[in-house]
Amino acid sequence: MSPSTPDSALQGKDFEVAIIGGGICGLACALTLAKQGVTVQIYEAASAFGEIGAGIGIGPNAIRILRDIGVLDDVVSKANDPSLNLRAFVFKSGMGNHEYPARAEDYGIGMHRASFLDALVLHVDPTITHFNKRCNKVVSSPSNPSRTMVHFDDGSHIETDVVLGADGIKSVVRTAVVSDQEVNIVAFVTDRSIEFGAANLPPSQPWVESVPQSEMLAEFDEWGSDVAGLLRCIKAPQKWMIYGVFPPLKSYVKGHVALLGDAAHAMLPHLGAGSGQGIEDAYLLGTLLGHSRTKASNLESVLKVYDEIRRPRAQKVWEDTRMAGDIYEGFGRQGFTPDGLRQDLSGLWDFVWNHDIVKDIQTAGEYLRELGTF
């Protein structure tokens, strides 16, 4: 399959876009922009495209977007199970019925993160990708206030019209957007004597730590011989921080700079919703920037509307992921029973999965017409 090659002549765009970060969200946004003829460049800190982490869950909301930008078939082909399947949830706590059922429309994909990224890379024009470009500062251009300058660790810099920060939870671009807001990277803890948000993560503390196998086994010493036997197969266990951005950002945009994905709203993993929310960000942002009426003179208004549409929804999902974590650990309002789990979890995935991104695009267009931008 041939890559999507940007051609600004398609719509005569008078602006260019730089995406900082070549992960899933950055590539999804680049493909959305390229599909509409917007000139885009991707700057990635690593020497090649690659993802850190293990599995990724892709729900119906993200699948619809992947189909629209033309990459779904390749994504599915790289999954362990190359099909779209129903995703039910099973909670085991003794005897009885523990299933949280899925509906016919609740299809999804589970796959390795790196495989997902590989599928997107197939569609990216290699001439727009720049590796070994670790961003260290984003500032207004000293020669043209309407443009933005991005500095990299290798001493180089670029000037562009729009900067999109898809550089993850440790985002540097975020600093350019929220310089007046204190934002912490906080570790999620299960010790109920510590309130969420109080366990800030010091910059020097490792996010992944190797631990002795004995320490891991001690955590599960009452789980029986079957579980212990499985855990002994893990010869070099690691302890991972589960972290998020807190408090919520007051805005995802400032001037001609916008955030998406974990850079904007890194969330806990308990609903498997983080990647889908980032893909929604990427699609709406790319669609609005690619609109036939978007031009250099109205970029700031277009980005503000992106923020107005995406931030409330992404933050609601962020809150729901935290709630789901409480439920899984037995702290749900209805109690840690099969019926209690069903009641507490009921509707959480509905809000995540059954979202109409097309309606968001229409609403954004209405806002921009009311503002006189379109």
Question: pLDDT tens for residues 262-312?
Answer: 999 999 988 989 999 999 999 999 999 999 999 999 999 999 999 999 999
CATH architecture type of domain 8-186+244-370? 3-Layer(bba) Sandwich (3.50)
State CA 103 to chain mean position distance.
Answer: 25
Q: Which of 253, 119, 270 is nearest to 176 (CA)?
A: 253
DSSP structure string for 60-97: HHHHHHHHHTT-HHHHHHTSSS-S-EE--EE--SSSS-
Full-model pTM: 0.85
Rg (CA), the chain: 22
DSSP structure string for 39-51: EEEEE-SSSS---
**pLDDT under 70: residue ranges of the chain:** 1-12, 52-53, 81-106, 180-207
Burial track 211-248 (b if 16+ CB lie within 10 A, e otherwise):
eeeeeebeeeeeeeeeeeeeeeeeeebeeebebbbbeb
Q: Confirm if 279 and 317 have CB atoms less than 8 A apart.
A: no
How many other C-beta atoms are found inside a 10 Å radius of the C-beta of residue 30?
29
SS3 category, 240: strand
Q: Which amino acid type is present at position 55?
A: G
For residue 347, the model assigns a pLDDT of: 80
For residue 223, the model assigns a pLDDT of: 87
For residue 53, the model assigns a pLDDT of: 63
State CA 287 to chain mean position distance.
Answer: 17
The Cα–Cα gap between 170 and 94 comes to 40
For residue 87, the model assigns a pLDDT of: 53
Q: Rounded to whole angstroms, what are the CA distances from 106 to 268, 275, 320? A: 21, 16, 18
Which residue do the tokens 């366990």 mark? 199
For residue 336, the model assigns a pLDDT of: 82
Q: Structural domain boundaries of the chain?
A: 8-186+244-370
Q: Which of 67, 31, 65, 38 is nearest to 358 (CA)?
A: 65
The angle that helices 299-328 and 274-289 make with each other, rounded to 10 degrees, is 170
